[in-house]
């Protein structure tokens, strides 16, 4: 049940953020739901590998390089999911920051913890 709620929250946030931001386009709620699932899978399988490979630069930048990794995950999701597009790397970076912060807020409101 928690997983379903998380996917619905993330889908709604992806759709909302895409409507508020220029440069991020989501065709419909079904596409937003697919984006949420793909982002979840990429964060489970690909992100840990990227974090390990970039550990030295992450230490040097005091963890700020993780924002770059999140933006790369968004761009990868853009390439995988049809109907979802992000125009530039900076847009993906801003989208990932807004999505992460809004997810944290929504999970806190709904009592979800990681």
pLDDT recorded at residue 113: 63
Residues 6+ apart with CB under 8 A from 75: 86, 89, 92
pLDDT recorded at residue 1: 78
Length of the chain: 114
Averaged pLDDT score across all residues of the chain: 95
Q: Which burial class, exposed, middle or buried, applies to 36 when counting CB atoms under 10 A from its CB (0-12, 13-18, 19+)? A: buried
55 DSSP assignment: H
pLDDT recorded at residue 112: 67
114: pLDDT strictly greater than 60: no
Do residues 24 and 96 lie in contact, with contact meaning Cβ atoms separated by under 8 Å? no
pTM score > 0.85 for this model? yes
pLDDT digits over 35-78, tens only?
999 999 999 999 999 999 999 999 999 999 999 999 999 999 99
């Amino acid at each position: 049940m928690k997983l379903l709620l998380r996917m619905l929250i993330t889908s709604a946030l992806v759709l909302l953020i895409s409507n508020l931001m220029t440069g991020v386009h989501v065709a419909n709620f079904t596409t937003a739901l697919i984006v949420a699932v793909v982002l979840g899978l990429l964060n489970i399988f690909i992100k840990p590998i990227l974090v390990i490979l970039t550990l030295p630069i992450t230490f040097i930048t005091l963890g700020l390089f993780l924002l770059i990794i999140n933006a790369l995950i968004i761009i990868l999701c853009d390439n995988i999911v049809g109907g979802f597009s992000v125009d530039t790397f900076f847009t993906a970076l801003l989208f990932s920051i807004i999505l992460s912060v809004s997810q944290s807020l929504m999970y806190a409101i709904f009592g979800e913890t990681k």
